[in-house]
C-alpha cells in the first residue's frame, strides 16, 4: 500500500469544504492513517515549497499557505498518489474537469483548495515534514476486503 500527503489548504478550511473533500477520499476507499488541524508557520512552508523558491509565485504561495489553518493528512491505499492526484484535478479550478475536487469546488486561478504529493519520494519527504512515525497509525479496517479484491493474495 502507498501513502500520500494531502493538505486541505486555507481556502478549503475557510470555505468549510474539509468534510466534503475528506468524504470523497473515504468514499473512494482510501484510508486515513494520520490527520491534524494546524497553522503552517513560515519555516515549515519554506521547507515544504523549497523546490519553488526561485519561481515568481513563491512569495504569494508562502503567504497563502500560512494565512489560515489547514488540515494535513496522510492517506493510504493501492496507487494512492495517482488516485488522489486524479481526484484533485488540474491545478486551478478554472481548468479542472467536472467530477474532480478542484473542478467541482474551485474557480480561482490562484487558490486551489488542496495539495497532494506528486510521487513516492516526494510523499515520503512531505509526510516526514508534518508527522513523526508515532503519528502514522497502522490499523485494519473491516471494509478492506470490500475495497480491494484480495483473492490473489495482493490487493487488486
Res. 154 pLDDT band, cuts 50 70 90: confident
Tell me the average pLDDT across 65-84. 98
SS3 content of the chain, % helix, strand, coil (to 5): 40, 15, 40
Where are any strands of DSSP class E within the chain? 2-8, 31-38, 70-77, 114-116
117 in any annotated domain = yes
Nearest to 87 by CA among 78, 98, 76: 98
Does residue 149 lie within any of the structural domains?
no
Range(s) of the domain holding residue 18: 2-138
Q: What is the pTM of this model?
A: 0.95
In a domain, 151, yes or no: no
Residue 44 lies in a domain: yes
- Rounded to whole angstroms, the Cα distance separating 104 from 27 reads 16
Q: Catalytic: which of 65, 84, 115, 130?
A: 115
First to last CA, the chain: 11
Give phi and psi for 71, each to the nearest 5: -110, 125
Domain assignment present for 113: yes
| pLDDT digit string, tens, across residues 24-69 | 999 999 999 999 999 999 999 999 999 999 999 999 999 999 999 9
Is residue 101 in some structural domain? yes
* Residue 30's CATH number: 3.30.70.141
Q: Is residue 150 part of a domain?
A: no
Residue 23, pLDDT > 90, answer: yes
- Give how many domains the chain has, as a whole number: 1
Residue 153 has pLDDT above 90, yes or no: no
Q: Which three cell numbers stand for residue 126?
A: 512531505
Predicted local confidence at residue 156, as pLDDT? 86
Known catalytic residue: 52? Answer: no
| Neighbouring residues of 49: CB distance < 8 A, sequence distance ≥ 6 | 58, 61, 62, 65
Domain assignment present for residue 147? The answer is: no
Amino acid at each position: 500500500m502507498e501513502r500520500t500527503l494531502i493538505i486541505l489548504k486555507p481556502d478549503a478550511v475557510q470555505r468549510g469544504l474539509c468534510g466534503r473533500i475528506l468524504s470523497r477520499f473515504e468514499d473512494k476507499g482510501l484510508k486515513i492513517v494520520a490527520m491534524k488541524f494546524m497553522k503552517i508557520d513560515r519555516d515549515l512552508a519554506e521547507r515544504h515549497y523549497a523546490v519553488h523558491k526561485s519561481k515568481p509565485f513563491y512569495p504569494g504561495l508562502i503567504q497563502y499557505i500560512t494565512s489560515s489553518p489547514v488540515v494535513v493528512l496522510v492517506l493510504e491505499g493501492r496507487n494512492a498518489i495517482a488516485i488522489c492526484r486524479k481526484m484533485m484535478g488540474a491545478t486551478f479550478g478554472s481548468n479542472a474537469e467536472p467530477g474532480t475536487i478542484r473542478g467541482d469546488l474551485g474557480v480561482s486561478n490562484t487558490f486551489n483548495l488542496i495539495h497532494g504529493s506528486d510521487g513516492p519520494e516526494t510523499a515520503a519527504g512531505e509526510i516526514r515534514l508534518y508527522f513523526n512515525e508515532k503519528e502514522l497509525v497502522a490499523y485494519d479496517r473491516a471494509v478492506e476486503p470490500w475495497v480491494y479484491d484480495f483473492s490473489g493474495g495482493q490487493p487488486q
